[in-house]
Amino acid sequence: MTSFTYAANPVRVVFGRGTLGALGDEARRLGMSRVLLVGTPRHADRAAENLGHLLAARFEDPAMHTPVDVTERALKVVAEHDVDGVVAVGGGSATGLAKVIALHTDLPQLIVPTTYAGSELTAVLGQTADGRKTTRKNPKVRPETVLYDVDLTLGLPVPLSAASGLNALAHAVEARYAPDANPMTDLLANEAVELLTSALPRIADDPSDVDARTDALRGAYLAGTCLDAVQMGLHHRLCHLLGGKFGLPHAETHAVLLPYVMAHQGLADAGDVFALTESLPIPHSLAELGLTEADIADEPEADLLREALTGARPA
Ligand code: NAD
């Protein structure tokens, strides 16, 4: 790499344990006084308490892959309640809804992630309409503040933790071979791979292991920063294609495909990542996600997908 371009992500990041307690202060810092809170009651109820009188309205059912009909309902709530800021608490689905609201309204966003998806750090927005997922990049959708609270991840079930952690690992792995990789993304990606590959087996052994949870969330943060900084390649293209067309679960699709794409790209640690995925309680094949030979026959990279269909060790 003799020449490169890198633009730092301007997001404000607050990371720690118990940081949800700072939610009201962080919202005020962004000038919010009438907040729309996005997120299922499991996490959003505590956030609502912390927001107190700043809370103007709630939207409790964000959906995966940001379907346009859900967005339209949420935009109505924004207009009805004269909202001046969006707080999202949850996984990538809650974050996606906040981002699409910002795209339409330019409202500031404060995101509290409870999975390892990494969407909170990116200017990327995926949306689905009529079974097709489209992705765009627009700085308007990049959240202003991300508040990471390790405590909120302690209850993330092991299968979801593993799949979501592998989703984060995929961001870092793809950043390593991106055509626009640079010294900063190399550093971030390598550290993210170390943290995530070490943390996921420890979480599978003991989901309440705070050190492992901290490592995984730090890894997800670094991996999400990579995702924002470079072009994503084959792995993300295939996941988006299959996710949109067959309504597959996002993190699990990443988890299944990652070792196969790595082997296809000739990456030396593809075997290690396959062994890691085999050791975790996640789906291990596209067949387990409900796909059949007929579904993938006409897709690009059908040979790679055929291997992933069976879950056999990648060649
Ligand atoms: P998700 O947000 O749909 O969450 C998965 C499930 O986990 C949900 O049922 C949720 O309620 C539950 N959950 C979340 N946190 C929990 C916790 N701490 N404890 C218990 N349950 C919890 O899934 P996801 O994998 O986080 O995100 C996927 C979505 O994010 C997709 O729509 C994907 O396209 C998007 N995404 C976008 C980007 C981007 O940069 N644009 C990056 C990654 C993911």
pLDDT digits (tens, 9 = 90+) for 43-84: 899 999 999 999 999 999 999 889 999 999 999 999 999 999
Give the number of other CB atoms < 10 A from CB of residue 45. Answer: 14
First-to-last C-alpha distance (Å) of the chain: 29
For residue 133, the model assigns a pLDDT of 81
User: 167-214: per-residue pLDDT in tens?
Assistant: 999 999 999 999 999 999 999 999 999 999 999 999 999 999 999 999
The residue whose CB lies within 8 Å of the most ligand 1 atoms, and thus the one to mutate among 250, 258, 282, 289, is 250
**Predicted confidence band of residue 164 (pLDDT cuts 50, 70, 90):** very high
Whether the complex's predicted ipTM surpasses the cut of 0.95: yes
Six-digit token string for 169: 């690992």
User: Exposed/middle/buried for 23, CB within 10 Å: 0-12, 13-18, 19+?
Assistant: buried
219 lines ligand 1 (CB under 6 A): no
Query: Which atom from ligand 1 is nearest to the alpha carbon of 64?
Result: 32
| Pocket flag, ligand 1, residue 127 (CB < 6 Å) | no
In this predicted model, what pLDDT tens digit does every residue of 79-114 receive, in sequence order? 999 999 999 999 999 999 999 999 999 999 999 999
% of the chain surpassing 70 pLDDT: 100
Helix, strand, or coil (residue 286) = coil
Q: What backbone phi and psi angles, to 5 degrees, belong to 45?
A: -60, -45
> Domains in the chain and their CATH numbers?
12-153 (3.40.50.1970), 158-310 (1.20.1090.10)
* Mean pLDDT lowest among 222-236, 240-254, 258-272: 240-254
Question: What is the residue-averaged pLDDT of the chain?
Answer: 96
- Is the pLDDT at 1 greater than 80? The verdict is no
User: Which ranges of 139-288 would DSSP assign to H, the alpha helix?
Assistant: 150-153, 158-176, 183-205, 210-229, 234-246, 250-264, 270-279
- 62 alpha carbon – ligand 1 mean position (Å): 10
Helix (H) or strand (E) holding 77: helix 68-80
- What pTM was computed for the model? 0.97
* pLDDT-based confidence at residue 130 (cuts at 50, 70, 90): confident
Decide: 122 in ligand 1 pocket, CB within 6 A: yes
pLDDT of residue 43: 87
**Parallel, antiparallel or unpaired: strands 132-137 and 124-129:** antiparallel
The pLDDT of 296-313, averaged and rounded, is 93
Q: In the predicted model, is pLDDT for residue 300 greater than 90?
A: no
274 alpha carbon – ligand 1 mean position (Å): 23
| CA–CA separation, 311 and 254 (whole Å) | 13
